[in-house]
Amino acid sequence: FLFAGVFLDSVWRAWPTRVFGPKSRVRLGNAVAVLLAVALAINYNTFFNIQAGNKSVFYDFDPAQTEAAYLVKDIASTSIVYVSPALVNHPNLRFIPQGTNYQQLNLNQHIPVRDRVDRDVVFVLEPAHTSLLSQLRTFYPSGVVEEKRDKYGRPEFSVFRLSRQQVNLVHHRDDGE
C-alpha cells in the first residue's frame, strides 16, 4: 500500500490540469476511489468467502497444536500437565502458554504418575499417542477421556483427566496402606 500511495501521490502532483481540464483531478480522484473499492471487494471475497471455508487453508494454521496450546494455558495453573513431545516441540505450544508450567510427557517417568500429587493431573496426547489411553485406563480406570476434534471431524488430540484423589489412590494401594 505504501508504494501504491507514493505512486498515486506522484501522479496527483504531476497531473496536468491544463491539458485535461480543471475537473480532471476530481475525475482522477473518483477513478482511484473506484479502483480501491474494487480491490477491497476482491480481497474481502477472497478472504471471507474463498479462503475462510477452505479446508487446506484451515489446516495450514495448525489448528490441533493451537487448540492444545490454549488448553494447556487454561489448565496449567490448576493441574499438573503432561504433553506429548510432538505437541511440546511446536512453536504454538512454546508461545501461547508462555510462562505456564507443563512438562513434556516421558512415558517411563510419567505413566503411572510416580509421586503423590497436590493437584489434578492432565495428559494431553497427540493422535499418535492415543494408544496410551488403554495403558492409562489400566492404572486409572475412572480417568476421564476427551477426544478433541476439529471442525471437520478430524482428531486433534486426546485429553486424559485425573483428579488428585485418583492419582493418590494408586499410590495408596502401592504403599500397602
pLDDT tens digit sequence for 86-138: 898 888 888 998 888 999 999 889 999 988 899 999 999 999 888 899 999 99
- % of the chain exceeding 90 in pLDDT: 45
> Phi and psi at residue 79, in whole multiples of 5°?
-140, 160
Distance, in Å, from the CA atom of 139 to the CA atom of 132, rounded to the nearest integer, reads: 11
**169-174 — which CB contacts under 8 Å span 24+ positions?**
170/112, 170/113, 170/139, 170/140, 171/115, 171/116
CB atoms within 10 A of CB 55: 11
C-alpha cell at 36: 480501491
**Mean pLDDT value across the chain:** 86
- % of the chain exceeding 70 in pLDDT: 90
How high is the pLDDT of residue 5?
Answer: 73
Distance, in Å, from the CA atom of 73 to the CA atom of 58, rounded to the nearest integer, reads: 22
How high is the pLDDT of residue 171?
Answer: 64
| Longest CA pairwise span in the chain (Å) | 101
User: DSSP assignment, residue 49?
Assistant: I
Please state the pTM of the whole predicted model. Answer: 0.73
Side chain identity at residue 69, one-letter code: A
121 neighbors 167 (Cβ within 8 angstroms): yes
